[in-house]
Amino acid sequence: MSRFWSPIVHKLTPYVAGEQPKLSNLIKLNTNENPYPPSPKVLSSISSTAKLELYPDPNSDQLKDAIADYYQLERSTVFVGNGSDEVLAHIFQALLNHDDPLLFPDVSYSFYPAYCSLYDIRTQPIPLDDQLSIDPDDYRIANGGIIFPNPNAPTGKVLALESVREILNANPDSVVVIDEAYIDFGGETAISLVQDYDNLVVVQTLSKSRSLAGLRVGFAIAQAHLIEALERVKNSFNSYPIDRVAEAAACASFKDVEYFELTRNKIIASREQLSEQLTTLGFTVIPSKANFVFIRHNDFDAEQLAQSLRTESIIVRHFKKPRIEQFLRITIGTAEQCQKLIAALTVIC
């Protein structure tokens, strides 16, 4: 604490990111990164196309076009930022109505309350139902906006597009943000709904299914009037959000469809196999459509299990939060890493 701190700093409740250990011999299954490296075409694009002596394109047009081509959209419906966390920050600043609270599931991404404390937005967490699912009927109360991940994090549970539509229909006067960080692992994207709903913003990231967490690239898709507000906030903050390396690499990633399909299908196959093996070991496994599983065991304390795995050099995520403190969230690794995890759990359990 310091006498130079502004009043807002005293009130912040910052997000605490998952551990990023230095040791390379650890099996790192704690922060939902992709276990596979990015496409070789991504790596070669960085050295061949990034002119680092020049400022980046302030509009990131090449990347917007690559995303628009991939999803068959107009460029005016695409906004890009330095990771989806930054895109979300701009959304929180630009598109929420401060008269009523922002609604989000009580078990969800912990950056949402962090941004609310930073931007002075009131919050109303909505409890998940007893199956840890989002119930669209709970989102029919007065609000200044709605946000939820789909699939949800850390549960991995997906919400069907029909239910997303229900939430949109019930809230025509507030912005509904669908955070699709994990959508490529089995959910159905709401991008197809953007043309029908003037209040929908879909956010995605290249950090998970495209193996580019280290680069920081995310984007939003919405009707042009919402994108315009995000561009205004961005241009009042930083003219060059995406650096040249990130833009070149992200464009190459969208163009290498074959590599993208190959790696995401491997992760989906490993997730299904791992879920079966964990069930055989006596774990309850929440059905996941993400690149992680959310599990609990009636006979073992989750925090102690995480510590036991740590002594076997495997890091998983345990949240000290009400309702989920007996769960572990485990990122899907390579097939070999998953086997090591099962071998370790077989000994521990």
Residues at the interface with ligand PMP (CB under 6 A): 83-85, 109, 149, 153, 179, 181, 205, 207, 213, 218
Report in angstroms how near the CB of residue 184 gets to ligand PMP at its nearest.
Answer: 13
User: Please, which residues have CB within 8 angstroms of residue 106's CB and are 6 or more apart in sequence?
Assistant: 125, 126, 127, 128, 323
Closer to ligand PMP by CB, 136 or 187: give it. 187
User: Please, which residues have CB within 8 angstroms of residue 170's CB and are 6 or more apart in sequence?
Assistant: 136, 139, 140
Closer to ligand PMP by CB, 184 or 345: give it. 184
Report in angstroms how near the CB of residue 188 gets to ligand PMP at its nearest.
Answer: 17
Give the residue carrying structure tokens 């009131």. 122
Closer to ligand PMP by CB, 297 or 317: give it. 317
Tokens at 209, concatenated:
């299914």
User: Please, which residues have CB within 8 angstroms of residue 334's CB and are 6 or more apart in sequence?
Assistant: 35, 36, 266, 270
Closer to ligand PMP by CB, 186 or 218: give it. 218
Q: CA 24 to CA 19: how far, in whole Å?
A: 13
Neighbouring-strand partners of residue 72: none
Tokens at 267, concatenated:
């992760």
Closer to ligand PMP by CB, 39 or 205: give it. 205
Residue 21 amino acid letter: P
Spell out where 102-141 has E strands. Answer: 102-105, 123-126
Tokens at 132, concatenated:
């840890």
**β-strand pairing of 123-126 with 176-179:** unpaired
Q: Does residue 216 come out as left (phi exceeding 0), alpha (psi in the -120 to 50 range) or beta?
A: left
Report in angstroms how near the CB of residue 3 gets to ligand PMP at its nearest.
Answer: 33
Closer to ligand PMP by CB, 216 or 297: give it. 216
- Between the alpha carbon of residue 147 and those of residues 54, 110, 117, 137, 182, the distances in Å are 37, 12, 15, 15, 15
Report in angstroms how near the CB of residue 131 gets to ligand PMP at its nearest.
Answer: 19
Closer to ligand PMP by CB, 180 or 248: give it. 180
Report in angstroms how near the CB of residue 335 gets to ligand PMP at its nearest.
Answer: 23
Report in angstroms how near the CB of residue 299 gets to ligand PMP at its nearest.
Answer: 29
Report in angstroms how near the CB of residue 33 gets to ligand PMP at its nearest.
Answer: 9
